[in-house]
Amino acid sequence: MDLLVLSRNNMESLISLSKVAKSFVVGSQVVPVLKDVNLSINRGDFAIIVGPSGCGKSTLLHTMLGLEKPTAGEAYLGQHNLYQNTTEDDRSSWRQKYMGVVYQQSNWIKALNVRENVAFPLLLTGKTREEGLMKAQTKLKEVGMENWAFYIPTELSSGQQQRVALARALITDPELLIADEPTGNLDFKNGVELMEFLVELNTTQKKTIIMVTHDLEYLKYAKRAIRMFSGEIVGEYTGSQKDKLMRTLEMPSKEKHVKSK
């Protein structure tokens, strides 16, 4: 695996955001989405970003991915400043080399079967079709989907599709895995299975993982919980602090449920 060269300022930081702000112009209004965000994701982290819908979680992820240039502040991938003196091609190259991405809804190439879809990102790096297909079969086996290699992805269940999407994200052996609501379309059983696999990737393969979710149940799987509200990071939690955060955030909904009876 080609490891990411780290920043001189923080020898463990894979992602570093400093005073990042992002606003969108809607009609005649300027709408702030991110406000003075400071965040470091270190090698070996499993960080879950949690917060209500519309708080800026996905915009924050897109900034880390090099897809959303901030209005102010700086964003680093290792030693690379993502948006200063760089091009779209630079950022695309870094994503291919260092990052794997899993979304809530996978975008499949409909003309390709499961194995070919998984192999596709590797072909973009210059590998031959034969190399790509062999590596894809290996990754499918890792996620327990080798027997579905010749199916069309849309023929699979939601849980199966997310396993295939994970295999596709891992095909280039990225150091950093970013997951945007990966359990959003899954039932509880499949959601738990996916989370357990992410934990295994983090602990045994040393993948650094950043995940966004609105489901507090999954915080227990992470090493760090990062809480967002109204475009700001309002807290970071580890260990027993995560458990306290889960109880605190769950309390209002539980009280509402009791009062409604």
58: pLDDT strictly greater than 60: yes
Instruction: Return the residue matching tokens 């990754």.
Output: 139
Q: Is 140 helix (H, G, I), strand (E, B) or coil?
A: helix
Question: Which CATH code is given to the segment(s) 13-104+178-260?
Answer: 3.40.50.300
DSSP letter at 135? H
Does 174 or 2 have the greater pLDDT score?
174
In order of 165, 188, 219, the CA distances from 114 in angstroms are 9, 24, 30
Confidence of residue 255 (pLDDT cuts 50, 70, 90): very low
Helix axes 158-170, 114-123, angle to 10 degrees: 20
Distance CA 197, CA 163 (A): 9
DSSP state of 215: -
Please tell me whether residue 153 adopts helix, strand or coil conformation: helix
Pairing outcome for strands 232-238 and 176-180: unpaired
Phi, psi values for residue 63, rounded to 5°: -65, -45
H or E segment to which residue 77 belongs: strand 72-77
Return the structure tokens found at 103. 């979304």
Measured distance between the N- and C-terminal CA atoms of the chain, rounded to whole angstroms: 55
Closest CA to 41 of 20, 73, 17, 60: 17
Q: What is the CA radius of gyration of the chain?
A: 19
Contact between 7 and 79 under an 8 Å Cβ cutoff? The reply is yes
Report CA 101 to chain centroid distance, whole Å. Answer: 6
pLDDT digits (tens, 9 = 90+) for 218-229: 999 999 999 999
Interval 17-57: pLDDT, tens: 999 999 999 989 999 999 999 999 999 999 999 988 889 99
User: pLDDT tens, 113-137?
Assistant: 999 999 999 998 899 999 999 999 9
> What region, left, alpha or beta, does residue 44 occupy, with left being phi > 0 and alpha being psi -120 to 50 degrees?
left
Domain ranges of the chain: 13-104+178-260
Q: How confident is the model at residue 4 (pLDDT cuts 50, 70, 90)?
A: low
Q: Which residue has the higher pLDDT, 260 or 115?
A: 115
The per-residue pLDDT for range 88-113, each reduced to its tens digit, is: 999 999 998 899 999 888 889 999 99
Segments in the chain forming alpha helices (H): 57-64, 88-98, 114-123, 129-142, 158-170, 188-204, 240-260
> What single-letter amino acid sits at 142?
E
> Is residue 12 predicted with pLDDT exceeding 80?
no
CA distance 204 to 194: 15
Answer yes or no: is pLDDT of 260 > 60.
Answer: no
Contact of 46 with 224, CB cutoff 8 Å:
yes
Is the distance from CB of 123 to CB of 77 less than 8 angstroms? no
| Confidence at residue 241, expressed as pLDDT on a 0 to 100 scale | 84
